[in-house]
Structure formats: C-alpha cells, structure tokens
Structure 1
Amino acid sequence: MSRTIAEKRAAFRALHTAGCFVLPNPWDVGSARFLASLGFQAIATTSSGFAWSTGHADNHVTRDTVIGHLKTMVEATDLPVNADFENGFGVGPDDVAESVKLAIATGVAGLSIEDATGDATHPLFPVDVAVARLAAARRAIDESGDDVLLIGRAENFVAGAPDLADTLVRIKAYAEAGADCLYAPGIQTRAQIEAVVTAVAPKPVNILIGSSSDFTVKDLATLGVRRISVGGALARASWGGFMRAAQSLADGRFDGFAEAASGAKLNALFGAVD
C-alpha cells in the first residue's frame, strides 16, 4: 500500500532518532526502484549522479531541472527521499528560502543545504552568511508546516578547505541555526568522525562513504553515526562498467558484456509485460 507524503516524512524522521541506516543515492527512476527492491528504508538524490545522466558536470544543472527531478524521484518509489539540494540555488537567504519552498512542494522528506560557493578562490561562504542562508531554509520549512528534515552541510573537505577546526565551528553553528542533521562530506578518519559526532550531539550526523573503505556500517554505528550516504559512488560504479564495456566495443571486442545484468531479471524487476 502506497504511503502518503506525510507518512514518508514521518518515517524518515523516525529513522534519525536511533540506530544507523544506509541512505543510498540513486540517480534515476530505475536505480531508485532497484534500491527499493533491496529493502533500503530511504533514498537520497545525488547532484553529481543526476547531472552526469543529463550530460552535465556536477553543480551545472538548473534549479528548475533539479526540482523536476526531485518530483520524479519522490514518485518513483514508496520510500522517503532526501534531496541533495546543492547550495540552495541562491546566494542570499531569500533566494535559498524560495528554492526550499519549491523543493518542499515536490514531496521530499529531507533536504540538504551546502555552504559551498562554487568559486574556487573563495570556496565557502563566510560562517555568518552560511548561517543566515541555513536559517532562511529553516524558516521556509517551518512556515510550510511540512515535516521536512533540514541537513546542514559543511563542505570544507570537498571544497578544497580541509580544516577540521573550521568544520566543527560550522556544523555547530548550523545545528544552532536549526539543522536537524549535520553532514561534513569528505572526513575520513575515525578521529574526524568522532569529533563531528561529538560536536553536535545529540543531533544525528551523516557520513559520506564515496569509495572503497575499511569502515563497515557496524563500525560507523559504533562511532555514533546515524546515517550513511554514498553520494555519486553508485552512479560512478555504473559509469565505470558502461565505460569499460564501451571501450571494449570500440576496440573491436565484446568481452565487456561478460558481467552485464540479465535482461530477464531487469524486466522482472520493473514489471515489463510483453
């Protein structure tokens, strides 16, 4: 039985109250439905994975296109969807608030706001500006009356400013500004993860595992991590298989299809009827 948007949002919030869960990142309807078939409890969009599927680089897709994608992903499965909402598609707080209102209307259960500027010379918004932007997102959610989680992201370690001290200042400030969950993508060591979890406790923390890692889900749960996402890693894995097979074909061989998924299994998964 299909869940209502309100029920999806309530279920998503409940996931953040205890334990640790994996929040995988599909990039289209098919990948979302496959993940749902594996029993995951929620999914999150990936800005990079979606951008690549449209032939664009990450952070080079328009707000209107992303809003349409969010609506499609919400409708794809019965799972709650967390939106990778980049930096809110606006510089000023009012612009961010307007974008957040549009995202809420798609039915997402959560959305993240980054503090990255997209400018390599000044990769992060000043803390006070970043806080004002996040607070505007918080107000937009509260004024909507919808139970949407707000995730505050400190982009230091993926934006070329890998400063743990500044990261901790930022996530504490974002927690105080109303973020329900905190996220510092790019941190990798046990000490870094423990520092972030401790800094904002008891609020939940999301950790990104975007490549092969010695950590297990159990390890991260023991460190106090509440949720684990993989960003564009699944999309990159898919692209890796496609690129290897395509290169083999370009070289005049067909061995790149050796590990291809079964068409019959895919048709069964998606309910195809001849």
Structure 2
Amino acid sequence: MSRAAAFRALHHGRAPDDPLVLPGPWDAASARVFAEAGFPALATPSAGVAASLGYADGSTPADEMFAAVARIVRAVDVPVSADVEGGYGLAPKELVERLLEAGAVGCNLEDSTGAGLKDPAEHAEWLAGVREAAGDRLFLNARIDTFVRGVDAPEAAVERAAAYVAAGADCVYPIAAPVAVLPLLRAGIRGPVNVLARPGEGPSPAVLGGLGATRVTFGPGLQRHAEQAVRENAERLAARLPR
C-alpha cells in the first residue's frame, strides 16, 4: 500500500470518539518529536512553517514552503500532508508535481484569498483539476473559509462542502467552525470532516470526534505553544544575566 493510500485509510472506519489526530510540525525537529510520540501521520500548518522561516502567515514564497515540507518529510517515516494555502497561483498539474516532489501524501487547499471568499463553483472546478492531475496519489483536504470570513450560516459551509466533494475532495475543513454547529455540519456533509482544535483550550479531540470531527488538526497552535515555552526560558535566562 502506498503512503497516500495508507493516509487515506486512516480517515475511514473510525469510532466517533476516536478521530484522526494530526499534529502540525513546523520543521524537521518538531516532526521527529511528533512521530516518535506515536502519531500515525502529520499535517503541516502553513502559518507555523511561515513563523519558523521568518515570514508572516501567508507570505512564504512557494519555493521555501515546498522545501520546508520536503525537509519535514525526509525527517520522519510517517505520512505527511502539507498545507499549501491557496496553491500559490500554480496550475493544478504543477501544484501536484511540486507536492509529490516534496514527498507529501496530501494537501490543504484554501477557498479564500486576501480579497475574500472565492467563487465556490470556480474553486470546485480548480479542485477538480487538482484531483485529475493527482489521481489517487494525494489526499485532498478542501478548506472552507466561510466562518473566518464572517459568513456564519452553517448552510453556506455545507453548500461549499458538497461542491468540493463532488469535485473530488477527500475531506473538507470548515476552519474555525463553532463547536455548536459541528453536529449540523456533520449531518450535512458527505465524507470526512476536519475540525480545528486549540491546544489546551476547548473540547478534547475525543469530544470533537463525538460532535462530528473525522480528523483533528491544530493549525499553528502547537508551534505557538513551543514559541511561548522558548520565550519563557529566554526570559528566565535573561533575568540571570549581569546587570
């Protein structure tokens, strides 16, 4: 079984209280830590990788993002899915080639830009092109940005999800969906649903699974926790310096 097939299989046949939990490594060292802890797969967060490279979220050049993903993939023996934001303006074939060259088994693809939400029909057509180019070699996680763009009606997310699944998405990701609407989303969406969790806050992955999450990711949350730990250690060390 290929890594992509093994990764796809992790999303199916799961008990409601046992969602697939995918930590988000931001570099090779963090990837090794998560893999050694026993997680079966990893999913990079674009914002966390950007921070590790010294960029603001959304500002990482495509070449640097793909290179970072490749370093993470080389560091571990588990499948790695890559958050490649909106695809960096690449045509589907080139995007798929870059992901496969980096060794990724899947990708997150967003449906908004700095200007706002993309037209769902146009985005679905683009996703269909990615699916055609990838075949079964990549797991496509279609991010739905309605909730982060001020469109709070669950129906809007469900409509986009239907279009993206019909276009070939393996999973949909209504990022930042309120916990209260997760059962509505689960009831209206066909196939796996990715839910964002916040480390140390809110419901546990098991509870999110019971509410409808097939898989749970953390965005840049784990990288920011690690950065805070470094900051606190730095402050303690600085306090001991001669004055």
TM over 0.5, yes or no? yes
Larger-Rg structure: 1
Q: How many residues align?
A: 237
Aligned partners of 1:18 and 1:226 also within 8 Å: no
Q: Distance in 2 between matches of 1:249 and 1:23?
A: 33
Q: Distance in 2 between matches of 1:89 and 1:97?
A: 13
Cα displacement (A) at 1:160: 4.1
Match of 2:147 in 1: 157
Query: 2:189 corresponds to which letter in structure 1?
Result: V
Query: Where in structure 2 are the equivalents of 1:1-80 lying within 5 Å?
Result: 7-19=2-14, 20-80=19-79
Cα displacement (A) at 1:62: 0.9
Q: Distance in 1 between matches of 2:102 and 2:53?
A: 20
Cα displacement (A) at 1:42: 0.4
Cα displacement (A) at 1:249: 4.6
Q: Deviations over 1:91-119 (max 9, x none)?
A: xxx62442232112222111111101122
**Relative contact order (C-alpha < 8 Å, sep 6+): which is higher?**
2
* Percent identity (aligned): 35
Equivalent position to 1:124, from 117, 124, 139? 117
Match of 2:219 in 1: 231
Cα displacement (A) at 1:137: 1.2
Query: Where in structure 2 are the equivalents of 1:112-191 lying within 5 Å?
Result: 112-119=108-115, 123-142=116-135, 146-190=136-180
Aligned partners of 1:23 and 1:229 also within 8 Å: yes
Query: Where in structure 2 are the equivalents of 1:240-255 lying within 5 Å?
Result: 240-250=228-238, 252-253=239-240
| CA root-mean-square deviation | 1.8
From the superposition, tell whether residues 127 and 64 of structure 1 become closer, same or farther in structure 2 (CA, over 3 Å).
same
Cα displacement (A) at 1:229: 0.5
Mark the runs of 5 or more structure 1 residues left unpaired by the alignment: 1-5, 255-274
Query: 1:134 corresponds to which letter in structure 2?
Result: L
Aligned partners of 1:89 and 1:96 also within 8 Å: no
Equivalent position to 1:218, from 206, 220, 228? 206
Query: 1:57 corresponds to which letter in structure 2?
Result: A
Q: Distance in 2 between matches of 1:35 and 1:106?
A: 19
Q: Distance in 1 between matches of 2:118 and 2:7?
A: 29
Cα displacement (A) at 1:148: 1.4
Q: Secondary structure in 2 aligned to 1:25?
A: coil
Cα displacement (A) at 1:139: 1.4
Cα displacement (A) at 1:248: 4.5
Q: Distance in 2 between matches of 1:249 and 1:47?
A: 30
Mark the runs of 5 or more structure 2 residues left unpaired by the alignment: none
Q: Distance in 1 between matches of 2:79 and 2:138?
A: 10
Q: Distance in 1 between matches of 2:200 and 2:41?
A: 22
Cα displacement (A) at 1:199: 1.8
Match of 1:260 in 2: none
Match of 1:194 in 2: 183
Q: Secondary structure in 1 aligned to 2:208?
A: helix
Aligned partners of 2:199 and 2:222 also within 8 Å: no
Aligned partners of 1:115 and 1:154 also within 8 Å: yes
Q: Distance in 2 between matches of 1:71 and 1:224?
A: 32
